[in-house]
Structure 1
């Protein structure tokens, strides 16, 4: 693969973001009503290929239930405010009104409270009792501490999510989580990530994961590129991980691991391009935080924003564009790609002549950097 000379002592591979690529129409078109956007992982079928990100500004038990009933897969952050406080609503309201100069400091104080295992059980059972598929997320650091509580609460899908997750974490201080052994011994399917390279992804696939999250520091609330200097342009990252999925399918004799874009999918056009690059589904944060029902009240932040030692994110204002059903299914009242996300995916697939998501992953893509005026 062609590399670019950065300087005489360093070369680098050119990587592409969603803004750098475009989808090319084909000779065939279809009616949007004939297009299928359904998605299935393990035994669980969903009407739309969208996961609600495990972020306190996006997913509460109430919004998880609403999102699940609309056909998506909600993922609750089991290290968030809902498992630290009996009633976090006053704190969510406070976070939405904080002055930007003190927001990080105050959020660090709020999230310093201990996680209550009983609240983990309560929140997951509340979602399960509503008849919605239950998914909960932990970081690798907390997984060994809380996994049994999560499984006993009746979780359907287990998500291990961090800024980056590897199958080979090396530590001289403590025994790290052995992902392969953990997933093998668990009775529920596991989605793990993020990963941003072919090598990292194929190693995660070999652990037995049902799905791999793709992304590193590219979300709207991330500052990882500024704080750590690390960033993975999403179009290239998804294509690389999709190649790992293809090669692992051959290596394993037919075991398919789902690729889930996680980060940088802020508009309907980004969602469409993520699938075109090889994603089976997308995990949305800021795009869903714009719904009027979202607990962030027009603001969005992730767990990186309140890290006790080195915050790599911030609270950002995303505003509100409409109800959750409008964000997903419209009708749109603006042309900025923030509402009717699923409708846009359907229309893009119909315009290029594809009937389902797996077919659409074969659509022609060109490098066409977007020039903003």
Structure 2
């Protein structure tokens, strides 16, 4: 361990002593990272923003609507449960108006029975959960109190649906949670697939599983067109960003190799002296590679910080942390790889011949 520390310390000292070459390497690597993040990274940030917008439009959702004649009930969820590719599914009963019990003449909000993942602490059909929009339209300050059905039944407000998620299309939301074994009539079933590309396949699979009494009273709407659009956008923007990043990395790697080759030539007498004093070829190569890695790390940090500040100042979308880290690591890898040939050449030089160089 002490030997490794000594080699690393020697490499850092060599980097500090050769200021011009070290600064040049740092600037090249920083420029590499900044160029990739300000071009390809900006494209990736825009891609993520566009895909997020498309996903919000429901690229993974399949909507099943059933009229009363369909005879569809909540057991449909049991039939859909074994289907692969489904992330979640829930069912909604027919809508019925409710009003704030304290404001009997207030605006009505549709309430529906709900079967699906747990939303809040509400547990039975005498309780209702509301979305923020429903709370506002009912004239409530908070999700508390009670609402009254058109038939006079009172439901206690038990919680708030902070994030409606795939239920957002049915706002304002007032839902009465039902237990899976509490079977009831269903008007809407929403199936969310685990991947946008599975929408068409899942739609074809679940169609016969709906098993409605009157299939003509059931309509299925999926987001296959949006899913196709998502795939096209992802492929085109991704290909552009990858090609651009590869070009920048290749060019910068070549420049780093040139700088390191020049550094080896400038220090050939020093390397020859070390070899004459007993330094192994592996030690010489390790010194050059460690020196390059330390300089590339500093350059990557400078490049990432500069590009992040620039993108934030311009108001452009920032790429993800994973993408930024990958660019920095790739820049480090390219720099070290570019220094391998100069390091091998330096290690293989004849010490006697190099010491004769004036």
Query: TM-score, length-normalised on structure 1?
Result: 0.19
| Structure showing the higher helix proportion among its residues | 2
**Greater relative contact order, per chain length (Cα 8 Å cut-off, separation 6+):** 2
Q: Which has the larger radius of gyration?
A: 2
